[in-house]
Amino acid sequence: MTGGAGGGTDRRPWYQDFFGEEFWAVAAHEYTAERNAAEADYLAGVLDASAPGRRVLDLGCGTGRHAVALAGRGFHVTGADVGGWALRQAAASAAAAGVDVEWLRLDLLRELMWPVREFDAVVCVQSFGWGSDTQQLRLLREARRALVPGGVLLLDHSNVLTIAGNYVPEATFETDGLRAVFRRDYRVEHGRSRGSIEVRRGDAKPVVVYDDVRLYQPAEVRDLLTRAGFRVERADADFTAGREVQLTTRYVQFVARNPDAGEHRTAIATWERPAAGGSARGATTGPVEAAGSGGPVGLAGQDGLVDLRWSPDEIDFVRSAVDRAFESVTVTADAARAYHVTDPYAAVRAAPVLSEHFGLELPPDTVTAGTGATGLLHGCAALAQPGPVLHLRGGHPDLPRWAARSGSEAIATRMEDLADALDRHAPSVLVLDRPTITGDLHGRGELDDIVRTARAHGTTVVLDEAYAVYAGPGASCVPAVAEHDNLIVLRSMSKGYCCGGLRVGFAVAAPALTRRLRAVVPPLGANAFGLAVSLALLAQGDVFTALRARIAGVKPRTAALLRGAGLAVTEGADCLPWVTVPGDDQTDALLEKLGLRVKEVEGHGTWDPGVRVGDRDTLFKMAVPLSDARLTAFHAAFGKGGQRE
């Protein structure tokens, strides 16, 4: 019992004592056999139609009224509840029905990690609202972790909109020697109904149990589900599939899905090793072993495919600048002891170099150094709360996915629909990539218009310029932060510089926005040695003249060969070392025939849970061969008439 509900002073949560023999003596008159059967029919129908398998976890199973029924319909059920008395009754019911159910005593709100295996479906009926909003959110996130990718949650709750219209502070129920007095106090400000049930059975002394329930509107439950990372598919009314929820609906059932694993993939997941016999998409070996080697690695793997997923040969055209940067930094044991706690975001050290590099004055309070663009994007995902996050199809997937995992809705749109999407959704964060996956380097004027429109909606714009380095520092939109207080521009040392292993990136923003960013980005993220090399490299200015010339010289020839083979090629800006082609099955077959391994950008680089995988605008991205060895291997694929040996 909990003192907050008026029943004692100990610290035990009320629900640990409430759902005992006295409660169930009263509830048995409400949960009739007919009602239980009708609800079980609904649950089984939804699970048969939506769940990927037959393994079901029943949360707050009570005396097993649904768990036993589902087991009788062929589901493999585990029932979890905090009440020992209720679980003993549930086990007896299962034995009497001749079905096998696994029973687990578990406090769903206080157990930090549920000791359960994976399930195809989770059901929770009349067992939601016992704790705080934070505890309900944690419960939902634990439920999602218990589900396989694509698994289904069926969550039922009582609709406060209906309950409030019939709410009375005291009521009495009597039947067959049982008398129950209900006393209630609904706290509108907190949305909680606190009260007690005084239960008298026959001549026995009355027993009082106390409760404290959070009553939700359906919209509040939908929001919690979204924040927990679920994809809400529909809401049903009063255990009737397809019935629309109304103001008079007493019980609301949400059908929500744990997104497929592919919908949660971050960029690094594109380097996972594929199954044997895979197509021209995916990976054979990760890039770490040979990045920047300039050697033959990346020509062809054991499967004979020419690997065009990345550009290990671009280092040949910037190596001298990189070597000078490393040579300028003295490597001693003292480097390992460098720990700049007085400059935790490396702003004082980096601001002068970045100012010279980009050609404007950048005070230290506008610069944040972190662990590469990836680490900074992870921090920016925290700025997306409460959401939603708006991102373009074809954008880098990490920030939207991280934000979605934390409960912010991720919404994909196209550039031509961006203004309307900002009006409609008023997102917390808009993520833009410059250039886009198709190689569009949108100009400063267009960016200014977008950022101003976003500002009118209170939206922060995160501009990821990791790939813009190829165009040189003069093409950057970093100077725009002086005019826009809602713009963050990200730069890194990975693309072009071939120094991703330094793990250094920079975020540039107005001072107030920088303070917000530093509140969520870990300090001391940029290591001292990596930072020193990065700044020495940036201090050399535009080091990509030779690389741009090489790209401009070979990219048209690469595109011409691909077009000659029947592919629809998008080249993008001539300074960018990649092209894209439609990612359909016909193209995949042709690439396999040519022996070319490419990078698949699922969903055109977007995470759009409302679109089936087969319907997405998938693209294949392929690096332009730059070294003589890679060019020879690439041309050989076409010289063999497109036939692999």
Pairing label, strands 367-370, 505-509: antiparallel
Q: Report the distance separating Cα 375 and Cα 523, nearest Å.
A: 11
Asked if omega into 609 is within 30° of 0 (cis), the reply is no
Q: Are 421 and 411 in contact (CB under 8 A)?
A: yes
Longest Cα separation, the chain: 97
> In the chain, pLDDT over 90 holds for what percent of residues?
68
**591 beta partners:** none
Domains and CATH numbers, the chain: 31-159+217-258 (3.40.50.150), 264-318+544-639 (3.90.1150), 323-538 (3.40.640.10)
Q: Report the distance separating Cα 61 and Cα 123, nearest Å.
A: 9
pLDDT tens per residue, range 630-645: 999 999 888 754 443 3
Burial of 539 (0-12, 13-18, 19+ CB in 10 A): middle
Report the interhelical angle of 218-227 vs 133-145 (nearest 10°). Answer: 50
pLDDT tens per residue, range 458-491: 899 999 999 999 999 999 999 999 999 999 999 9
Among residues 305, 299, 304, the alpha carbon closest in space to that of 631 is found at 299
Among residues 146, 132, 178, the alpha carbon closest in space to that of 26 is found at 178
Name residue, tokens 């809401």: 235
| Assessment of whether the complete model's pTM goes beyond 0.95 | no
Q: Report the distance separating Cα 414 and Cα 382, nearest Å.
A: 23
Name residue, tokens 């920016």: 380
Q: CA gyration radius for the chain?
A: 30
H/E/C letters for each residue in 345-400? CCHHHHHHHHHHHHCCCCCHHHEEEECHHHHHHHHHHHHCCCCCEEEECCCCCHHH
Mean pLDDT is lowest, of 370-374, 397-401, 542-546, for 397-401
SS3 for 119? strand
Contacts 24+ apart (CB under 8 A), 197-200: 197/22, 197/23, 197/26, 199/22, 199/23, 199/25, 199/26
Mean pLDDT is lowest, of 299-303, 356-360, 562-566, 625-629, for 299-303
Among residues 305, 325, 286, 238, the alpha carbon closest in space to that of 530 is found at 325
What is the structure's pLDDT at 640? 55
What is the structure's pLDDT at 229? 85
What band does 519 get if pLDDT is binned at 50, 70 and 90?
A: very high
Q: Report the distance separating Cα 129 and Cα 212, nearest Å.
A: 9
Q: Are 284 and 302 in contact (CB under 8 A)?
A: yes
Q: Report the distance separating Cα 181 and Cα 338, nearest Å.
A: 70
Q: Report the distance separating Cα 557 and Cα 273, nearest Å.
A: 30
Amino acid at 22: E
**Average per-residue pLDDT in the chain?**
87
Hey, CA dihedral for 201, 207, 208, 209, is it positive or negative? negative
pLDDT tens per residue, range 64-103: 999 999 999 999 999 999 999 999 999 999 999 999 999 9
What band does 406 get if pLDDT is binned at 50, 70 and 90?
A: confident
What band does 602 get if pLDDT is binned at 50, 70 and 90?
A: low
Q: Report the distance separating Cα 213 and Cα 304, nearest Å.
A: 63
Contacts of 3 (CB under 8 A, 6+ apart): 9, 10
pLDDT tens per residue, range 92-151: 999 999 999 999 999 998 886 788 999 999 999 999 999 888 889 889 989 999 999 999
pLDDT tops 60 at residue 290: no
H/E/C letters for each residue in 492-543? ECCCCCCCHHHCCEEEEECHHHHHHHHCCCCCCCCCHHHHHHHHHHHCCCCC
Pairing label, strands 147-158, 251-257: antiparallel
Among residues 190, 193, 185, 188, the alpha carbon closest in space to that of 157 is found at 193
Hey, CA dihedral for 595, 599, 603, 604, is it positive or negative? negative
